[in-house]
Amino acid sequence: MDFRHEVKHEINRSDMITIRQRLRAVAYPDAHAVNGVYRIRSLYFDNLNDKALRENLNGLSRREKFRIRYYNGDTSVIHLEKKSKVGGLGRKESASLTIKQAQQIADGDLTWMLHSDAPLVRELYSKMTTQGLQPKTIVDYTREPFVFPAGNVRVTLDYDIRSGMRCTDFLDADCVTVPVTDTIILEVKWDSFLPDIIRDAVSLESRREGAFSKYANCRIYG
């Protein structure tokens, strides 16, 4: 997958209501959403020096992070993902995991990864064994997704962001998570161009483009 444009805005609940109504009028709901939303649970990785966290906090233009993710509590479909950022462009690479494989990675049982058919799994193995990457924390949130065919646009509203603190047992549905912010994140992604109809729909005079990391916010407890 090529790099895509990515823009984030921190908005409030009133902003979200306004933008949601605009998007419902011009865009399409994501086919994977249930009643317009889905719940996302991710397990993020970092090393002992908190490389991914520090790169984000320092605003490095070129950075990457690994996570394991599933949706709506459904562990029958789990993905390992690598998110790469270069300036205002982003790219996501993905590989499927079984529930057993996801648990093995979370538990530090890594030998099988070296022989995986998925290059991304082997890359994570290399970085876990040479750079000390390890599971760091759970990040939970609710997402309202919208899509627009022209420009391959995807607009999301993310809220109810919660942290597992130092818990990494992300396959446990009863794992306790705590809220970390009231901020709502508007994120817009597109390929070569952003149609004016979407640009107008997400435009707010009082809001400016900025950076917001759910992972960084979920690390406030350690």
Per-residue pLDDT reduced to its tens digit, 153-211: 999 999 999 998 878 889 988 888 999 999 999 999 999 999 999 999 999 876 666 66
User: Which pTM value belongs to this model?
Assistant: 0.92
Contacts of 28 (CB under 8 A, 6+ apart): 146, 147, 148, 149
| Per-residue model confidence (pLDDT) at position 128 | 97
Question: Among 34-38, 57-61, 83-87, 92-96, which stretch is predicted with the lowest mean pLDDT?
Answer: 57-61
Decide if pLDDT at 2 tops 90. Answer: no
CB 177 within 8 A of CB 214: no
| Per-residue model confidence (pLDDT) at position 56 | 85
